[in-house]
Amino acid sequence: MTPHDAKDAPHRRWNPLLREWVLVSPHRTQRPWLGQVATPVIPPRIEYDPECYLCPGNSRAGGSQNPSYTATYVFDNDYPALLPDATPFQIDEGDLIVARGERGFCRVVCFSPRHDLTIPRMQPEDVRAVIDVWTDQYRDLGAVPWVQHVQIFENRGALMGASNPHPHCQIWANQTLPNQPARELAAQTEYLQKHEKCLLCSYLVLEGNDRVRIVTENESFVALVPYWAVWPFETMILSRRHVGSMAEFSEAERNDLAGVLRSLTIRYDNLFTTAFPYTMGFHQQPTDGKQHPEWHFHAHYFPPLLRSATVQKFMVGYEMLASPQRDITAEGAAAHLRGLSDVHFLDQA
């Protein structure tokens, strides 16, 4: 049986990165795509908000004041979840009550001084400047001897809990490998040992042949809906070249990353003519000073919207207690995204 034969019947798909199953129920979406057009959620049109704690020159809650920055701006989070000088400790009561002290850094990156400019509406050269900052941060934080992992992530939109609409992301760097990267490290290591090939390089070959889950691509990157996607319009961006992190990208690859980030997020905004909410982040090789031949650079996008700007998927019930589940297939989601314009709806005539 080929993957194409599985498309209408309930089935499970294997996520080789997290090594778990996803339940897919395509028969529940026999109804045609509704293409529902909700009232567009127009992003803020003001370039500067005197009340915004991320805008240039404004005061932040902790009492600090932002400089009058004119490009990407990085600062230490005023309410950090991790502290670099936390005292080490260990608790272990019968392998059941177990804790460890954890050190780390939490930073905030404002993409632009503009309150209203998100990645899909920034110029390619301005997105490239953000990528340069991410790369420097990954390198600098990763160079701290005890930092083993640097997580760059963006929560976009109130639906994802973003507390401020000013376009920004966060960087958390810490002493141990967090859960998801640790699972992916184990899976990629085992795959490399078993097949003598990289897991994601091998996966890219299959997707390049099949093409049904590819959303957009350029010389250096492919954006696709992974075969095992859980969220309706979940995507991954993979580098074509086998590299472990941004630190290894060429000039051309940095520019191409800006290109694919824009091309994907413009399609997201155009899907429901809204400022499409998501959590996204990069998974890069651990910064533990070891060689990581197994690790392949990639990004994940987890957007909650399902059918319109106002209808979202909830991960509740069966998903909390048993297993993730989806109705619309990865192939259907990719086809919708692929078919959209790569000109942002706000920039269309």
Binding site for Zn ion (CB under 5 A): 49, 52, 54-55, 115, 166, 184, 198, 200-201, 242, 283, 296
Q: How many CA atoms lie within 13 A of 186 on its CB side?
A: 9
Q: What 3-state DSSP class applies to 76?
A: strand
Q: How far is the CB of 68 from Zn ion (least distance, A)?
A: 13
Q: How many other CB atoms are found less than 10 A from the CB of residue 51?
A: 8
- What 3-state class would DSSP assign to 56? coil
Q: Shortest gap between Cβ of 10 and Zn ion (angstroms)?
A: 26
Query: In angstroms, what is the minimal distance from the CB of 49 to Zn ion?
Result: 5
Structural contact between residues 243 and 138, judged by C-beta atoms closer than 8 angstroms: no
Cβ at position 294, least distance to Zn ion in Å? 8
Helix ranges (DSSP H) in the chain: 124-142, 179-195, 199-210, 251-271, 318-321, 330-338
Q: Which is nearer to Zn ion, 166 or 262 (CB)?
A: 166
Question: Which lies closer to Zn ion via its Cβ, residue 164 or residue 310?
Answer: 164
For Zn ion, which is the closer residue by CB, 267 or 300?
300
In the annotation, is 168 catalytic?
yes
Identify the active-site residue in 115, 166, 168, 298.
168
How wide is the angle at C-alpha 181 spanned by C-alphas 313 and 26, nearest 5°?
Answer: 30
Alpha-carbon gap, residue 28 to 329, rounded angstroms: 10
Residue 195 Cβ vs Zn ion, minimum distance, rounded to whole Å? 11
CA dihedral (45, 51, 54, 56) positive or negative: positive
206: CB partners within 8 A, 6+ apart = none
Among 255, 257, 312, 310, residue whose Cα is nearest residue 279: 312
**Based on CB atoms, which residue is closest to Zn ion, 115 or 128?**
115
Q: Which is nearer to Zn ion, 9 or 46 (CB)?
A: 46
Task: For the chain, state the CA radius of gyration.
Answer: 21
* Active site residue ranges: 168
